[in-house]
Chain A
Amino acid sequence: MKKFLPFESRLVPLPIDNIDTDQIIPARFLKTISKDGLGDQLFFDWRYDAEGKPKPDFILNTAAAKASQILLAGDNFGCGSSREHAPWALTQYGFRAVISTSFADIFQQNSLKNSLLPIVVPRDVHAELFANPGAPVKVDLATQQLTLPNGRAVEFPVDPFAKHCLLEGIDELGYILQLSPAITAFESAHPAPISTLY
Chain B
Amino acid sequence: MTAPRTLTEKIWDAHVVYSHTDEPDLLFIDLHLIHEVTSPQAFDGLRLAGRTVRRPDLTVATADHNVPTTDIDKPVADPISAKQLEVLNENCAEFGITCYPMGSPDQGIVHVIGPEQGWTQPGMTIVCGDSHTSTHGAFGALAFGIGTSEVEHVLASQCLLQNKPKTYQVRVDGTLHPGVTAKDIILALIARIGIGGGTGCIFEYCGPAIRALSMDERMTVCNMSIEAGARGGLIAPDDTTYQYVAGRPYAPKDAAWAAAEKRWRELPTDAGAAYDKSIALDASALEPMITFGTNPGMGISITAAVPNPSDISDPLERDTLAKALRYMDLPPGKPLLGHPLDVVFIGSCTNSRISDLRSAANILRGRKVHPGLRVMVVPGSQQVKAQAQAEGLDQIFRDAGADWREAGCSMCIAMNGDQLQPGEYSVSTSNRNFEGRQGKGGRTFLASPLTAAASAITGVVSDVRELLR
Contacts and interface: CB of A to CB of B under 8 A. Distances in A.
Interface string B294-323: 010100000000000000000011011001
Contacts of A63: none
Contacts of A167: none
Contact of A114 (B83, B145, B149, B422): B149
A110 B432 CA distance: 20
Contacts of A176: 26, 153, 156-157, 159, 161
A137 B202 CA distance: 35
B24 interface: yes
Contacts of A104: 196, 199, 229
B58 A31 contact: no
Given A22-B437, A176-B153, A192-B58, 19 more contacts: A16-B319, A17-B320, A18-B297, A27-B415, A30-B38, A31-B37, A45-B435, A50-B422, A80-B432, A81-B130, A82-B145, A84-B148, A113-B150, A179-B159, A182-B18, A183-B157, A190-B28, A193-B121, A196-B59
Interface residues of A, number: 58
A76 B195 contact: yes
A92 interface: no
A20 B295 CA distance: 8
Interface in A96-110: 102-106, 109-110
B121 A105 contact: no
B339 interface: no
Contacts of B103: none
Interface string B40-63: 110011000101001111111000
Contacts of A187: 28, 158
Interface in A15-59: 15-18, 20, 22-23, 26-28, 30-35, 45, 50
Contacts, number: 203
Interface in A43-97: 45, 50, 74-76, 79-84, 87
A175 B18 CA distance: 12
B22 A20 contact: no
5 contacts: A16-B319, A74-B320, A102-B196, A105-B229, A110-B150
Contacts of B323: 16
The number of chain B residues touching the other chain, given as a range, is 35 or more
Contacts of B145: 82, 106
Given A17-B316, A80-B131, A182-B17, A31 B157 contact: no
Interface in B120-139: 121, 123-124, 129-131
A84 B149 contact: yes
A4 to B, nearest CB: 16
Contact of A194 (B119, B148, B413): B119
A128 interface: no
Contacts of A20: 295, 432, 434
Contact of A28 (B121, B129, B414, B435): B414
Interface string B96-133: 00100000000000000000001101011000011100
B430 to A, nearest CB: 12
Given A106-B147, A192-B30, A193-B30, A22 B436 contact: yes
A102 B199 contact: yes
A159 interface: yes
Nearest to B232: A105
Given A18-B295, A106-B146, A176-B26, A161 B414 contact: no
A20 B40 CA distance: 23
A134 B30 CA distance: 49
Contacts of B131: 80-82, 106
Contacts of A193: 30, 121, 123-124, 252, 260
A23 B437 CA distance: 9
A195 B44 CA distance: 25
B435 A23 contact: yes
Nearest to B165: A105
A33 B123 contact: no
B60 A196 contact: yes
A194 to B, nearest CB: 5
